[in-house]
Amino acid sequence: MYKAKAYSIASSRSPFTGTTIPRRDPTPTDVQIEILFCGICHSDLHQARDEWASVMPTVYPLVPGHEIVGRVTKVGSAVSKFKAGDLAAVGCMVDSDGTCPECKAGNEHFCPNLILTYNFPDKHLGGVTYGGYSDSIVVDQRFVLRVPSNLNLAGTAPLLCAGITTYSPMRQHGVTKGKKIGVVGLGGLGHMGLKFAHALGAHVVAFTTSPKKKEDALRLGADEVVVSRNADEMQKHVESFDFILDTVSAEHDVEALINLLRREGNLTLVGAPPKPFAVSSFSLIMRRRSLSGSNIGGIAETQEMLDFCGTHNITAEVEVIPIQKINEAYERLLKSDVKYRFSIDMASLKAE
Ligand SMILES: NC(=O)c1ccc[n+]([C@@H]2O[C@H](COP(=O)([O-])OP(=O)(O)OC[C@H]3O[C@@H](n4cnc5c(N)ncnc54)[C@H](OP(=O)(O)O)[C@@H]3O)[C@@H](O)[C@H]2O)c1
Ligand SMILES: [Zn+2]
Ligand SMILES: [Zn+2]
């Protein structure tokens, strides 16, 4: 065991402060990574503030962070995929049983014994797992991803959650040329959704509550932009979408989005606001529409997404911050005031 530097939060109302956390020495199948950048996902904020208490209560102190890129510093004797000096990435998962039907099908994210990168039981050291707001991490090689060498690293970190969470449902729902696709919410996930839908050849409509993001949405891949609080603009798109991806983190009118789907269209939720919402059965049954959800993606699909990003030169638009600005960044994230993902430069932590 060794001590790593990290930023943790002690309760739902505390600020983040610098600390040290235990990390295990690499086992034969482990990869030790020096973290270079870590994205700030809205899920980090939900959990730091214990907003998902009814589903996954937060264990404090919490070290969030599941959008990790870095450089391999050490590998266990049985590791074949990586060697010291390689770039590597870790997303939302660090372990699963590897034997259940879900794991065998490449759906580690649905494994009943899945271990998430933070706030999940740590079978090696006891307590809970600690995430990427840290200078290093040790992860089994099965959950370590390869990073295409042409991509900017600060902008690559967010691909590990925002990227796969938007890429996976688009692939599952056949987003392609000739389809009309909506992406709701222009934040970390949403701006990646625009990039992927555009790269997949679809006609893309961005839905935003922030009229000032209109120009950016067009630059990021939208063909049209709708200000979702403007009823007239919404009305123009009634019954026209094949697929809509909803990335919104707070309460909003889901029913209004369902009404924009054509017959048999699908609305997939990836945003995870804490409160349930109301949907009329009629809006679904009268057009045989469907409403579904999606949770990140499996490891093979995450690698496919990273390789797709390498080929198409896709990264997140990031505002790089030192870790000392994390409390300010959380306040800004709550106000949708980030273009479009914060990426923490971990050199700032090493310098402390
Ligand atoms: N399913 C999964 O696997 C998964 C993975 C990662 C994250 N998530 C969840 O996905 C959600 C989004 O995460 P994120 O990191 O992309 O968050 P984010 O960067 O804060 O983006 C959320 C966007 O939602 C829009 N929004 C915020 N409040 C709104 C409101 N009251 N009404 C309508 N729109 C509103 C804003 O876009 P505009 O300014 O354009 O309106 C905002 O930028 C979070 O709930 C997160 O926990 C789920
Ligand atoms: Zn996330
Ligand atoms: Zn499994």
Per-residue pLDDT reduced to its tens digit, 111-163: 999 999 999 999 999 999 999 999 999 999 999 999 999 999 999 999 999 99
Residue 182 and residue 262 in contact, taking contact as beta carbons nearer than 8 Å: no
One-letter amino acid at 40 equals I
Give the tens place of pLDDT for each residue, 233-257.
Answer: 999 999 999 999 999 999 999 999 9
Q: What pLDDT score does 277 carry?
A: 92
| Segments in the chain forming alpha helices (H) | 42-48, 101-104, 153-156, 162-172, 188-199, 214-220, 231-235, 254-258, 281-285, 299-312, 326-334, 347-350
For residues 277-297, average pLDDT? 96
Ligand 1 neighbour 296 (Cβ under 6 A): yes
Element (DSSP H or E) covering residue 227: strand 224-227
Q: What is the mean pLDDT of residues 271-285?
A: 94
Task: Give the Å distance between the CA of 102 and the centre of ligand 3.
Answer: 5
Average pLDDT, the chain: 97
Find out whether the beta carbon of 298 lies less than 6 Å from any atom of ligand 1: no
Q: Scanning the structure block, which residue is given the tokens 């730091």?
A: 48
Task: Output the pLDDT for position 185.
Answer: 98
* Closest ligand 1 atom, residue 273 Cα: 45
Distance from C-alpha of 122 to C-alpha of 143, rounded to nearest angstrom: 15
Q: How many CB atoms lie within 10 A of CB 242?
A: 20
Q: Which of 247, 317, 318 to mutate to test the pocket of ligand 1 (most atoms within 8 A of CB)?
A: 247
Mean pLDDT for 11-18 is: 97
Distance 312 CA to ligand 1 centre (A): 24
Q: Closest ligand 1 atom, CA of 251?
A: 31
Q: Is 213 in the pocket of ligand 1 (CB under 6 A)?
A: yes
Q: How far is it, in rounded angstroms, from Cα 56 to Cα 215? A: 37
Q: Is the CB of 302 under 6 A from ligand 1?
A: no
Q: Is ligand 1 within 6 A of the CB of residue 188? A: yes
Which numbered atom of ligand 1 lies nearest the CA of 210? Answer: 39
DSSP one-letter string for 244-270: EEE---S---HHHHHTTEEEEEEEEE-
In degrees and rounded to multiples of 5, residue 262 shows phi and psi of: -75, 180
**What does the alpha-carbon distance between residue 315 and residue 67 come to, in Å, rounded to a whole number?**
13
Q: What percent of the chain has pLDDT over 70?
A: 100
Residues 6 or more apart in contact with residue 154 via CB below 8 angstroms: 37, 318, 320, 343, 345
Task: Please list the residues that pair with 7 across neighbouring strands.
Answer: 18
Q: Is 42 in the pocket of ligand 1 (CB under 6 A)?
A: yes
Nearest CA to 298 among 172, 175, 166, 164?
A: 164
Element (H, E) at 193: helix 188-199
In this predicted structure, what is the pLDDT of residue 218? 98
Q: How far apart are CA 285 and CA 337, in angstroms?
A: 37
Q: Is 286 helix (H, G, I), strand (E, B) or coil?
A: coil
Confidence (pLDDT) at 101:
98
Cis peptide bond prior to 61, omega within 30° of 0:
yes
Note the pLDDT tens digit of each residue in 166-210. 999 999 999 999 999 999 999 999 999 999 999 999 999 999 999
- State the distance from the centre of ligand 3 to the C-alpha of 49, rounded, in angstroms: 29
Return the pLDDT at 83: 98
Count of Cβ atoms closer than 10 Å to residue 133 Cβ = 30
